Amino acid sequence: MKGQDGIRTIKRKEAGEDKREQTMVVKREKYCYNENEKRKDCAMGDTKIQWHPGFVAAIDLEFRENRDDLIYEKEYNLSTKPLEIDLLVIKKEPDVQISNEIGKLFRGHNVVEYKSPEDHLDIDVFYKTGAYGSLYKSFGETVDERAADDITITIIRDAKPEGLFRYFKEHGIRMTNPYQSEQAGCGRTERRRQDVQGIVGDYGAGD
């Protein structure tokens, strides 16, 4: 049954009781949300309006005075291969305290990335790893299922990333070592609402 303003109401029998589920349909768009805000695809056939070409044309029109100064990359691919997290550590119980120094920062969901001696660890890699945490947060089954402040990011590397630490210092990014007496190679900084820590195996050896 379809009501006003594109709201479709579906009534069905479940466990002997009537259950209502509201699905919002906006010009036959692909994605819908039920009343619990749980994401799902709607079976709408093959019809799908292409919004992006019109959007790009509108932006081009808005920026027409600077058209020669800009480059448009439509539907730009951020990665040539699927993004993968090296290790995801999830606490079974939120109040569990990790005794190891590396795990003292841990919260409910913890993204852990390992960088081999051949891997670079510069400011771009730092931000990309931070983006893993943001993407992981956004892929919950319900809206805000994974709280941003319940996610941490840990980057482990054998040698000290001199260039990255120099960048932090030059740009006023504060980095602390809360466990200096226990593990000299542990550093911590904050990225928005997510804590980020770096673990260096040989703190004296830099790149």
Across all residues in the chain, what is the average pLDDT?
A: 75
Q: Is the pLDDT of residue 103 over 50?
A: yes
pLDDT above 70: percentage of residues in the chain: 65
Q: What is the pTM of this model?
A: 0.64
Task: Please report which confidence band the pLDDT of residue 111 belongs to, taking 50, 70 and 90 as the band edges.
Answer: very high
Residue 69 CA to residue 105 CA, distance in Å, equals: 45
Q: Which residues contact 195 (CB under 8 A, 6 or more apart)?
A: 105, 107, 152, 153, 188, 189
Query: Which of 21-30, 67-76, 171-180, 187-196 has maximum average pLDDT?
Result: 67-76
81-90, 98-107, 129-138, 146-155: least confidently modelled range: 98-107
Cβ count within 10 A of residue 187: 24
Give the pLDDT band of residue 17 (cuts 50, 70, 90): very low
Confidence of residue 159 (pLDDT cuts 50, 70, 90): confident
Question: Distance between CA 160 and CA 156 in Å, rounded?
Answer: 10
Choice between 186 and 114, residue whose per-residue pLDDT is larger = 114
Retrieve residue 196's tokens: 């980020």
SS3 81: coil
Q: What is the mean pLDDT of residues 2-17?
A: 42
Going by pLDDT thresholds of 50, 70 and 90, the confidence category of residue 164 is very high
From residue 202, alpha-carbon distances to 74, 117, 141, 166 in Å are: 44, 11, 40, 17
Q: Which percentage of the chain shows pLDDT scores above 90?
A: 33
